[in-house]
């Protein structure tokens, strides 16, 4: 659609350089298509990068005022900062892309000669741009939906893989640890039947049975806690997190700290489960990959919002590429946060540790 729009404008208005930008966020314009022979330009509807609109005051003005702007001679404008695709332009006009009263981007046109564009040419370009804006928005939304579907397919496939891995792990624990221990106990019980007339031997073997059965019970309890801790249901989110922190502190020698500014009131079960699973995944990543020495978790409820922060002093990673790498753990945490109307953000860099922040509306304040 971006490609078609620039072609249609060219039939009405002669230009040497053109670009179509779409707002990816209030502070970022994505270059969706360019035309011309200037530095950095390409032919076709190809995305070539982006920039902050505030870095170019005139472009920022077109977006904020949602009105077209004509500059007869760029060299006469002090605050003009040219995008790469307009590097050789002298005459310039910017036309906002507005759909449903909402700004979605702008079209930028340049000519190598000054005083080339006129108000009449601006109006001609506006006619084409205004008609194309809705179609462009719909095409972009469709692209986002398609991306979302592909992401969902990938996530679903990986979730199934993780479920199977978890089932294998549970089965292995049951067979290798609990199963073998039970077989051993049964064997000892049968031996006891043969030594019923030897009280001292019976006493020693019963003590061994007691230890073996206690170990089986402990293994079963550990298995159950890993699946879902009873403290989460009976005592709440804070108690379950504190229990996990104490366990990883004992097993991994980490210095742990938990701060609860959320009070003692319980959250709905679904919200507590989501937050707990996110923390659980974060702690698993920390113990497996971060090489951290300290872990801190903070939970707060303030201004109709709940916030959970998990921070470590480990090796960190490049947070800008983690989503592109398709990390299932991160994807799963993001999906869980979205389930309660929230979002998850990650702050990390190599050698700088990692901070995971989950924010969501407080369900008790709705």
Helices assigned H by DSSP within the chain: 2-12, 57-65, 119-173, 180-194, 199-227, 230-234, 237-252, 269-285, 328-339
Beta carbons of 329 and 289 less than 8 angstroms apart: no
For the domain bounded by 231-365, which CATH number is listed?
3.30.565.10
Residue 258 token pair: 């938990």
Q: What's residue 38's pLDDT?
A: 45
For residue 255, CA distances in Å to 181, 239, 285, 312, 351 come to 34, 18, 16, 10, 18
Q: What is the pLDDT of residues 137-152, one digit of tens each?
A: 787 788 878 877 887 7
Q: What's residue 41's pLDDT?
A: 40
Report the candidate in 366, 342, 349, 365 with the shortest Cα–Cα distance to residue 357: 342
pTM: predicted TM-score of the whole model, two decimal places: 0.51
> What's CA 109's distance to the chain center, in Å?
36
Q: What's residue 331's pLDDT?
A: 80
- Phi and psi at residue 123, in whole multiples of 5°? -65, -40
Residue 69's H or E segment, with its range, is strand 69-71
Where do we find the tokens 């990692």?
Answer: 354
Residue 357's H or E segment, with its range, is strand 354-361
Ranges of residues in the chain with a pLDDT under 50 are 38-45
Q: What is the pLDDT of residues 7-36, one digit of tens each?
A: 888 888 889 999 889 888 778 888 888 887
Q: What's residue 134's pLDDT?
A: 82
CATH class of domain segment(s) 2-149: alpha beta
């Amino acid at each position: 659609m971006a490609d078609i729009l620039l072609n249609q404008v060219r039939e009405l208005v002669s230009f040497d350089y053109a670009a179509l930008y779409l707002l990816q966020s209030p502070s970022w314009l994505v270059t969706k298509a360019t035309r011309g022979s200037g530095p950095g330009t390409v032919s076709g509807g190809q995305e070539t990068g982006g920039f902050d609109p505030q870095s170019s005051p005139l472009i920022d003005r077109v977006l904020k005022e949602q009105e077209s702007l004509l500059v007869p001679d760029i060299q006469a404008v002090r605050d003009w900062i040219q995008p790469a695709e307009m590097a050789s332009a002298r005459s310039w006009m910017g036309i906002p892309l507005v759909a449903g009263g909402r700004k979605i981007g702008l079209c930028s046109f340049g000519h190598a000669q000054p005083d080339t564009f006129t108000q009449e040419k601006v109006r001609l370009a506006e006619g084409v741009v205004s008609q194309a804006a809705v179609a462009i928005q719909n095409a972009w939304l469709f692209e986002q939906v398609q991306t979302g579907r592909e992401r969902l397919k990938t996530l679903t496939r990986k979730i199934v893989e993780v479920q199977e891995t978890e089932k294998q792990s549970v089965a292995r624990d049951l067979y290798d640890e609990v199963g073998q221990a039970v077989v051993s106990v049964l064997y000892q019980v049968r031996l006891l039947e043969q030594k019923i007339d030897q009280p001292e031997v019976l006493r020693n073997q019963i003590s061994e049975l007691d230890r073996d059965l206690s170990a089986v019970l402990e293994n079963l309890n550990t298995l159950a806690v890993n699946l879902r801790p009873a403290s989460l249901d009976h005592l709440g989110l804070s108690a379950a997190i504190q229990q996990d922190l104490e366990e990883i502190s004992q097993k991994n020698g980490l210095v742990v700290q938990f701060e609860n500014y959320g009070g003692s009131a319980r959250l709905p079960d679904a919200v507590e489960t989501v937050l707990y699973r996110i923390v659980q995944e974060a702690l698993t990543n920390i113990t497996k990959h971060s090489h951290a020495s300290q872990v801190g978790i903070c939970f707060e409820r303030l201004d109709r919002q709940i916030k959970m922060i998990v921070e470590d002093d480990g090796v960190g990673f490049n947070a800008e590429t983690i989503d592109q790498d398709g990390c299932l753990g991160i994807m799963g945490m993001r999906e869980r946060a979205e389930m309660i109307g929230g979002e998850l953000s990650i702050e990390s860099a190599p050698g700088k540790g990692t901070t995971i922040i989950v924010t969501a509306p407080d369900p008790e304040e709705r």
